[in-house]
Amino acid sequence: MKFAVIVFPGSNCDVDMYHAIKDELGEEVEYVWHDAESLDEFDGILLPGGFSYGDYLRTGAIARFSRVMQEVVKAAQAGKPVLGVCNGFQILLESGLLPGAMRRNESLKFICRPTKLKVENNQTMFTSLYEEGELVTIPIAHGEGNYYCDEETLQKLIENKQIVFTYENNPNGSLANIAGIINEQGNVLGMMPHPERAVDELLGGADGLKLFKAIVKQWREANVIKA
């Protein structure tokens, strides 16, 4: 499986994401600059964390207009797995690939620490290797991770089981303790915690590795069926 790690000016978790795929999964991966005109050669798209374009205007608001985002949307519509982590999640919200918006943390402070997440839905291409209700430890590092949407959207997320991860102890004021959501089609996941920073016990834990393994497993199974 071949992954693209999208790099925007200000991305700073792209190396972590690259390491998770190449060194921990042993899969093919390339950095792709924000002005790329095609993602057709890639099977999976990864939007890393950081401060794209310095977080001017709003987090992800400028990156949403990068040339490569047209290709990310195209890949998502084609059913390819798209994962946005932290700033990547914010970009997915700004681009309309996921519903809702991000606000400043309730504390108005940047938070960086390990966090317990509950797996709310393990019937996705990203979470199939977790148990439903499983508690995992994944680090967070953000100043604007306070997820918000209107009541109608929240009900839709609940009914469609689009809430994939919730915080055991809400660190940022996020609505309904939401830490990660998926689109209706089930192939675009946005989450504030950083699974790429939890792929090896040397990093303090490997709970995030299952997420990446699940993507590869689902992709291989789908392509065996097609073949």
Catalytic residue numbers, as ranges: 86, 194, 196
Name the residue among 177, 179, 176 with its Cα closest to residue 164. Answer: 179
3-state secondary structure of 202: helix
Name the residue among 166, 164, 163, 162 with its Cα closest to residue 184. Answer: 162
CA distances from 58 to 1, 40, 137, 216 (A): 33, 29, 28, 33
C-alpha 16/C-alpha 135 separation (Å) is 23
Residue 114: beta bridge partners? 139
> Which residue carries 């090896």 as its tokens?
200
Question: How many residues appear in the chain?
Answer: 227
Name the residue among 157, 114, 156, 153 with its Cα closest to residue 136. Answer: 114
DSSP state of 167: E
